Amino acid sequence: MPMFPPEVYRSHLTPLRFLQRSASVFRQKPAVVYGDRSWTYPELAERVNRLASALVAAGIARGDRVAVLVPNIPPTLEGHFAVPLAGGILVAINTRLSAPEIEYILDHSGAKLLIVDAELAHLVEPALARLPALQLVVNVEDIPNGTRLPGPDYESFLASGSPESRDWPLEDEDETIAIDYTSGTTGRPKGVMYTHRGAYLNSLGELLETRMSSDSVYLWTLPMFHCNGWCYPWAVTAIGGTHVCLRKLEPEMVWSLVAQEGVTHFCAAPTMLIALVNHPSAPQEPLTRPLIISTAAAPPSPTIIGQVEALGAEIIHVYGLTEVYGPYTVCEWQPHWNLLPAAEQAQVKARQGVGYLIADDVRVVDDRMEDVPTDGETLGEVIMRGNNTMKGYYRDPEATERAFAGGWFHSGDLAVMHADGYIELRDRKKDIIISGGENISTIEVEQAVCAHPAVLEAAVVGVPDDYWGEVPKAFVAVKPGATVSEADLRDFCRDRLAGFKVPKTIAFGDLPKTSTGKVQKFVLREREWAGREKRIN
């Protein structure tokens, strides 16, 4: 039998292939829309080639880190292709971080070049002298009167590069394509390494799970810095859809673009869904065109799922972490669920579900890493592994070893496994309330509180109690113009929860959140436990 060289029957899996193909196939349709400007796929490819060429000319070599601190506008999208095309590793930085946090990421990643937006440059300027690895800053001047750092402007930098196509500088599909830094809410952020192969496969997973096609129009409500936008910069490009960029996330603008641009897909955390549904610009009648909204970041309550779908949109509930490229599981819809009443459908859709088609099975295990019973009641930790699991933490082998103990990635999330194989999150390990020896899921209590029509959103934490050790306390934000008393809300919860799970106290006001919109329960918890040692019963 003749032997053929591997390149005949095998090529590297890399998202760089996606733009190459779409530029050849979709030569006239818009690839990117931003305000009153648009680019076709060949035009996008030319800009990416120019940027990659300019990066190489500026000294970027294989494995060098290139940081991008820019909102959801075209340069960030272009960087997702141009940086790896130049052989570099993309470090997309959270645009909502403080100056010290940004400095830490630039220093820890050893970024050699930074592309920074003029609105954010003031956060970098004080640290420039303390970043010896940083050799060049490129300025994106998308807004007037921003801060200009020493270095060329973005469009001039692009113009200096060649529009000609470049060969992929890839020897192994397991090479790192991006480093994504975690939020670091309880310590220093960790650099999560994604591979070309993982990004390629997760991109295809997004397309399959959300039913995207070349007719799809994707609105950039999800930050591109967050898990590389769940791989949607690569995914939308792969299918030949249209990217609609959005510099600032405002509900009124979201609904306006949904109507004007014919948006078919976007992603939003539950907090953003709450803001969208309750905004005056929200549709007053059900949408006339299909709209698929993927939601994750925190478990959505059945209430908000029902409210969004009452507008005529379809919610796809996914779950994951930065360490697994964003989404890892999806609440795969079953046809027989269509026979359920709307409220029960929302309840089922609030589960986190099963692994993506391109992922391994998700497990829920006990402390011995044995699978918990599929009874929908026994708590265990969610663990994952496979194609869409990170390569490891950059420059942190100890943390990587801890995360991969036993050959699986340990999420730190607690869940139950239902008889149908679907998981349902109950809490983070650090959030579970142990009251008098009983486990209380803060998510379960939050969902009960949020079912009240006056409640906008809620967070529940365990607070000190001299007898029980700790008891649940709810922090509640009320909808504008609505009123509800603590007594009324506790009575409401008693009809939905066991007595020991009902919040013992309720505080009203705004909730502290991370830069990506997650409620900072640790802030609430630390405030309540100040001066006290937490007891575990």
pLDDT at 469: 81
Distance between CA atoms of residues 463 and 521, nearest Å? 12
Where residue 515 falls among pLDDT bands split at 50, 70, 90? low
Report in angstroms the alpha-carbon separations of 284 from 94, 278, 360: 34, 11, 41
The CATH code that applies to domain 270-390+404-428 is 3.40.50.12780
pLDDT, mean of residues 107-116: 98
Distance between CA atoms of residues 182 and 321, nearest Å? 9
pLDDT in tens, 257-277: 999 999 999 999 888 898 899
pLDDT in tens, 317-327: 999 999 999 99
Q: Return the sign of the alpha-carbon dihedral for residues 187, 191, 197, 203.
A: positive
301 and 450 Cβ atoms separated by less than 8 Å: yes
Report in angstroms the alpha-carbon separations of 30 from 260, 337, 355: 15, 37, 33
Where residue 536 falls among pLDDT bands split at 50, 70, 90? very low
Which is nearest to 535 in space by CA: 439, 456, 470? 470
pLDDT at 331: 96
CA angle (431, 224, 173) in 5-degree steps:
95
pLDDT at 1: 61
Which is nearest to 331 in space by CA: 508, 500, 186, 209? 209
pLDDT at 224 over 90: yes
Q: What is the DSSP letter of 53?
A: H
Comparing 43-195 with 270-390+404-428, is the CATH topology the same? Answer: yes
Q: Give domain limits for the chain.
A: 43-195, 270-390+404-428, 433-529
Task: List the structure tokens of 261.
Answer: 């641009």
Where residue 533 falls among pLDDT bands split at 50, 70, 90? low
pLDDT in tens, 337-378: 999 998 899 889 989 999 999 999 999 999 999 999 999 999
Distance between CA atoms of residues 302 and 298, nearest Å? 12
Which is nearest to 488 in space by CA: 517, 513, 452? 452
Q: Identity (one letter) of the amino acid at 212?
A: M
Distance between CA atoms of residues 150 and 34, nearest Å? 27
pLDDT at 2 over 80: no
pLDDT in tens, 370-406: 999 999 999 999 999 999 999 999 999 999 999 999 9
Secondary structure E strands in 436-518? 438-440, 455-465, 469-478, 505-508
Q: Is 267 helix (H, G, I), strand (E, B) or coil?
A: strand
Instruction: Choose which CATH entry (3.40.50.970, 3.30.300.30, 3.65.10.10, 3.60.20.10) describes domain 433-529.
Output: 3.30.300.30
The CATH code that applies to domain 43-195 is 3.40.50.980
Which is nearest to 159 in space by CA: 262, 51, 57, 84? 51
pLDDT at 537 over 60: no
pLDDT at 534: 54
Q: What is the DSSP letter of 435?
A: E
